[in-house]
Structure formats: structure tokens, C-alpha cells
Amino acid sequence: MRRLRGGTVIAVMAAITMTGCKDQTTGSGGPAETGSGGAALAAARSLTVKGRAPKTGYDRDRFGTAWADTDSNSCDTRDDILKRDLKELKFTGGKCKVSYGVLEPDPYSGKNVTYRRGRSLVDIDHVVALSDAWQKGAKYWDPSKRIALANDPLNLVAVDASTNRGKGDGDTATWLPPNAGYRCAYVAGQVAVKKKYGLWVTAAEKAAMEKVLSGCPDQKLPTGGNPTEAPARFHAD
């Protein structure tokens, strides 16, 4: 993914200030939301604040092979998320490989996007980017925990590829979905993942999270996903 261009932080913070969010669902599929009203905002306020650590040493491979079958259902994680988030599904060779589906709508852009296997119109996005996680605690984890984060359905969502590529490894302070109606659910998702895995946030990131979630005080906190440690077969670094 391309890095963010200069000026993005200012644009995002302006959008946070100007856009009010009502209580949102997760849109097309996504993790289940449970808990009492205000859970997302309360969780955001509880996150540990530290400075961003250097990106030194980060590599996608430090989070394991892409789309590992950590839940042992014989389907890779990418296809699991496509099956969860797409409609009008078609398969190739059984019920694992999704060959066709429709994001209706794509949560990031708000438009409908058609998925056809072999074409990159749909991405599976890490809601908390792996390089962002690396700089906020994951660098110090056991490999099995990094593999768990990379394949946790709580941290994954099918989205429009072109919109997603503008995100890079941005956090809430530097990037929000253009679809304003999804921002509360998106930020709640980032909070949920960071809380579940014990990742910290920067001061600017926490302020941005609280600003968004203050506009939707009844936003629930997504829950569920996989355990925070991958099965034993993935423990080798």
C-alpha cells in the first residue's frame, strides 16, 4: 500500500470535527457488536497512550504467511472474510474459494463493488494495519500472537480496493473512511482490536478516536474473533 501524502492528518482531523456520527452497525458483514451503550467510547478512553515506536524491523512476514487457516476450517482467512462480507456468492471447487460476490455496499466508500476472483477490486483490510500494530506493541510479541492478529476476523473487513489503498498504514488520527456513515463503526473496530491485543495508541490517535465516538455515544464495541494466540502449529518463528 502507498504511504499517506502530506496534508492527510489535517484533512482527517477536519473531517472528524465536522462530521457527527450516529450509532452505526458494521455495514456489510463485519464482527458482531455487543455491550452496553457507550462501550466503544469508554474503551477508547481506557487505551494506553505512548509514542509511536520506530518501524525498524517491520516486515509482513513477521505476521506469518498471508491468510493462514488459523481456525482450522480448511479455508484460508481471505476466503472466510469474503464469505462473511459478500452477497450473491459463487464458488470454485467447493465452498472455500469465492469466485464471485458483491459488496453491497462497500463500508469504506459506500458504493457497491463487484468481486471476481483474480481481479483486485476488493481488498481484505486489516482494520488496525499490521505496521501500525508493529509500532505500537506487536514488535515485542511472540510470533503466534502476531499471526493471530493478522488473521483475526475482528480485525478484517472486505472493502473497495481503490479506497483502501489510500489508507496505507494510517491510524484514526491520519485516515478515516470517506463514507462518513461508517466512521463510528470503523473507529469502534480499531478500538476493539487494540484493546483485545493490548496495543497502545498515540495521544493524537486517542484524541481522534474520542472525537469520532463522542459523536455517536451509543456506539457499541465489536467483540468476538479468534483467540489472541494462533494454534501450536503456527508457533515457529
125 contacts: CB under 8 Å, gap ≥ 6: 108, 156, 157, 158, 159, 164, 167
Mean pLDDT, all residues of the chain: 87
**Strand order, beta sheet including 87-92:** 87-92, 97-103, 113-116
For residue 227, is the peptide bond before it cis, meaning its omega torsion is within 30 degrees of 0?
A: no
DSSP sequence for 30-66: ---EESSTTHHHHHHHHS-B-PPPP-TT--GGGG-ST
Q: Note the pLDDT of residue 232.
A: 81
User: Nearest-CA neighbor of 95 among 83, 107, 110?
Assistant: 83
Which residue matches cell numbers 510470533? 143
pTM: 0.85
| Max Cα-Cα span within the chain | 48
**Cα 16 to Cα 211: distance, rounded to the nearest angstrom:** 7
User: In the chain, where are the structural domains located?
Assistant: 12-234
Q: Note the pLDDT of residue 31.
A: 57
pLDDT at 52 over 60: yes
Q: Where are the alpha helices (DSSP H) in the chain?
A: 8-18, 39-46, 77-85, 130-134, 143-150, 161-164, 183-197, 203-214
pLDDT at 110 over 80: yes
How far lies 130's CA from each of 45, 171, 194, in Å?
22, 11, 12
- H or E element in which residue 92 lies: strand 87-92
pLDDT at 12 over 50: no
Contact 107, 28 (CB under 8 A): yes
Q: What is the mean pLDDT of residues 67-91?
A: 96
User: Nearest-CA neighbor of 208 among 57, 17, 75, 58?
Assistant: 17
Lowest mean pLDDT segment, chosen from 10-14, 109-113, 134-138: 10-14
The residue with greater pLDDT, 32 or 141, is 141
β-bridge mates for residue 33, sequence order: 222
Q: Note the pLDDT of residue 30.
A: 53
Residue 32's pLDDT band (cuts 50, 70, 90): low
Cα 15 from chain centroid?
A: 20
